[in-house]
Structure 1
Amino acid sequence: MNRVAQPPLSPELLSRTVDWAITTRRSMRAYLPTPVPHEEVEAILDIARFCATGVNMQPWRVHVVTGEVKDRLSRAITQLDDDPALSLRLEDAYEYYPRQWVTPYIDRRRQVGWELYGLLGIEKGDKQRMHQQHGRNYRFFDAPVGLLFTIDRVLQKGSLLDYGMFLQSVMIAARGRGLHTCPQAAFLKYHQVIAELLAIPSDQMLVCGMSLGYADEASIENSLVTGREPVSSFATFHHRLA
């Protein structure tokens, strides 16, 4: 990969293509059984490794699961998830979400839940169907490829910032190849069984999982398009000193 190569498209087409890849990245929750070749997955990771990283630390580690290994992992997690006596005793690998939800974050979270469950016809209080839908995370939403990301425990918050840029690069590289993804914090609760089955050493911490494949565009849940706040709501432009 030539990191100083000239762009392959005109400036206008290049801008539109990059913008398309970013804006069409959505969390897809249903996938076709169409296989994703090993070479394609490796190519995506090969591109993502060029993301920004402080002092070139490159803190990411990726475990790619397919076929029998993915199925075995899904069965093991589902068995725990379906047993409240076991799953309630488990703790996430780290605190991804805030301990206390406040506005506007709690409002956005609820909105996504209402919209998704509304599309699926899951009524408020239907805990069984909610559990079943949430449990689809552990089958990687039937995607043919599952990705599990880990980081060395000695690293600090700055490396997690680097990791976010790596994850985004994976997802954008996938879009450039006509693939979709779904990053998943749901796996954090089952980091111990994941580490055991994949022989992940104890000095590595699970960051998240991710589904990768060709989205089933006919599935109703994939019609969900979450909103984003306008630039004016989060950006302040400073033109002159007070």
Structure 2
Amino acid sequence: MPATDMPATDMSVTQALRRRRSVRAFTDRSVDPALLKEIFAAAQRAPSGGNLQPWQATVLTGEAWQAVRQAVAARIAMGRAGQEPEYDIYPPALTAPWTDRRFGVGEALYASLGIPREDKRGRLAQFMDNYRGFGAPVMLFLHCSRIMGPPQWADMGMWLQSVMLMLVEQGLASCPQECWAMYGATVRRTIGLGDDQILFTGLAIGYADEDAAVNQWPVPRAPIDEAIDWKGFGT
């Protein structure tokens, strides 16, 4: 394997996994593009069926990133007529326990900010911050060819997780944002992608605002007994 120029750290994969969270408040500190290149180069080791490596990404900062924010803001102002969803982010017939988890994490987020359910304006303002990348200086848009199917989308997820863990290792933070797919065509046009590409997700990248309450509340995870069924291991 080629040598990496990334700064050496003592962080284990387990530590990075435990520290990773979806950060929703970033500082304005710039991110070294050379470090990002090293992270993306290392992430190319992520597995993919048949070694297709279906992931493609467009990484933006500065005016290019601002152009996307402005273009999507104009579509949001149109209401539902402005939406151009690439896919259903959540299954239309979502049921428990998944509905409970989705509702619970949303309520915990708003509680961390002191925004009660009846404060519709406050909740809308917080939701709209999604489309500013929560102040992140870098936005990565992950996309692939439309000929790709569910197995290749799983491959993209493994690449994305690899990137997020290495960002943590290097002191950076991120927030995966499938919400951008609600305005996928606008994003694709603005960043110069053809209709042969489909937008999967955004990934906000930067340095976390460690003092922000929205970055401090505990994000629950289901116990492994709800996810793992053991067979043949005895008692």
Give the TM-score band, short-chain normalised: over 0.9
Give unmatched runs, 5+ long, in structure 2. Answer: none
Point out 4+ residue stretches in structure 1 off by more than 6 angstroms.
none
Q: How does 1:70-219 map to 2 (within 5 A)?
A: 70-84=65-79, 86-87=81-82, 90-219=83-212
Q: Is 2:84–2:185's contact at 8 Å kept on the other side of the alignment?
A: no
Q: Is 2:43–2:159's contact at 8 Å kept on the other side of the alignment?
A: yes
Pair 1:69 & 2:64 matched: yes
Instruction: Normalising by structure 1, report the TM-score.
Output: 0.90
Q: Is 1:184–1:210's contact at 8 Å kept on the other side of the alignment?
A: yes
Alpha-carbon distance, 1:91 to partner: 3.5
Distance 1:56 1:21 in 2: 26
Which of 25, 28, 32 aligns to 2:23? It is 28
Q: Is 1:59–1:151's contact at 8 Å kept on the other side of the alignment?
A: yes
- RMSD, aligned α-carbons: 1.9
- SS at structure 2 position matched to 1:205: strand
Give unmatched runs, 5+ long, in structure 1. Answer: none
Pair 1:230 & 2:212 matched: no
- SS at structure 1 position matched to 2:57: strand
Q: Once the two structures are aligned, what percentage of the paired residues are identical? A: 32
Q: Is 1:33–1:143's contact at 8 Å kept on the other side of the alignment?
A: yes
- SS at structure 1 position matched to 2:183: helix
Q: Is 1:147–1:209's contact at 8 Å kept on the other side of the alignment?
A: yes
What do residues 56-91 of structure 1 show as CA deviations (whole Å, max 9, x unaligned)?
A: 00001100010011112112212222332643xx24
Distance 2:183 2:55 in 1: 19
Give the number of aligned pairs.
Answer: 230
